[in-house]
Amino acid sequence: METKRNFSAKREAIYKVISSTNTHPSAEWIYDQLRQEIPDLSLGTVYRNLSVFKQNGKIKSLGVFNGQERFDYDTSPHSHFVCECCYEIIDIPGGVSFFERNTYRYIERECGVHVEGHSIVFFGKCKKCIIKDQR
Amino acid sequence: METKRNFSAKREAIYKVISSTNTHPSAEWIYDQLRQEIPDLSLGTVYRNLSVFKQNGKIKSLGVFNGQERFDYDTSPHSHFVCECCYEIIDIPGGVSFFERNTYRYIERECGVHVEGHSIVFFGKCKKCIIKDQR
DNA sequence: ATGACTGCAAAGACTTTGCATCTTT
DNA sequence: AAAGATGCAAAGTCTTTGCAGTCAT
């Protein structure tokens, strides 16, 4: 059996940042959070570890918004709201995101594909941006 | 009154390409389609016109997949399937994409935001890639 | 003529990667 | 010591943009 190492101080730190925020961060945001604590951290390391986490299934990519890929440590099914002004991403509480299993089957039948997941994103303007624009 | 020009041979050609395909193209794909017909077309022009169409509401962005922004001339509400192997994007027939108006209201109440739209994307493997992988 | 559109190439933004070095086991 | 992780900087990919020239009205 291969013994996978799967530990490093920096990896832990990166995971801690992403799993302790509800900001759905980008690589750079994580990097900025850690610079003070870990001055010799490299942005490449953040990218490499995010890639590892993604493959592990420890995090999920929410897609690219405003040019940056955004991540979520909460891999349970839920949907998101993205502000088109400031690109804040927030979780939507409740079961808005769920599809019946039948929906997957329907698509598979209808399109001849195999469905493995889905993503629901609502767009609009967040509270802060609404207020900001009223001034 | 301002008189908007809103015409150019190249703009028309670009719109014709995007509106005559069901591939949900990227800028580069459109460019490649037109190179033969219009040898002096520039990729920058494709990007600029796509940006115009987006602002016009003549096309919709489906988001960034595999690093490239993909577009749809069909702006009516419908959802999509994206193959995670080859990044083919196909339309899902039927009403899979609709939310009750109440859903928007629910999110607005719950999150304090203003919802303007949404996007539903299913992920998986397309027919071609399923077959390819069986060999 | 005027304002809009375009080609070209440079610049921008984000992400990936090669290689030497450092860590963990 | 061996395998893996990292820093650094270069390279890669996609997109935007400045400017001079072109096109439609």
Note down the domain range covering B40: 9-134
Establish if A23 belongs to a structural domain.
yes
Establish if A97 belongs to a structural domain.
yes
Establish if B18 belongs to a structural domain.
yes
Q: What is the CATH number of the domain that holds B74?
A: 1.10.10.10
Establish if A4 belongs to a structural domain.
no
- Beta strand B79-83 with B114-125 is parallel
A9 contact B CB<8A: no
Establish if A1 belongs to a structural domain.
no
The mean predicted confidence, pLDDT, of chain A is 93
Establish if A37 belongs to a structural domain.
yes
Q: Which nucleotide is nearest to A11 (CA to C1')?
A: D5
Question: Which of A63, A83, A92 lies at the smallest CB-CB distance from B107?
Answer: A92
Determine if strand C comes within 7 Å of the CB of B48: yes
Question: Which of B90, B118, B123 lies at the smallest CB-CB distance from A117?
Answer: B123
> Which pLDDT band holds residue B5 (cuts at 50, 70, 90)?
low
Q: Is A131 helix (H, G, I), strand (E, B) or coil?
A: helix
- What is the number of structural domains in chain A? 1
Q: Do B118 and A121 touch (CB under 8 A)?
A: yes
Determine if strand D comes within 7 Å of the CB of B67: yes
Establish if B104 belongs to a structural domain.
yes
**pLDDT tens-digit series, residues A9-44:** 999 999 999 999 999 999 999 999 999 999 999 999
Establish if B4 belongs to a structural domain.
no
Residue B98 reports pLDDT greater than 80? no
Residue B64 reports pLDDT greater than 80? yes
Query: Residue B45 CA to nucleotide D12 C1', Å?
Result: 22
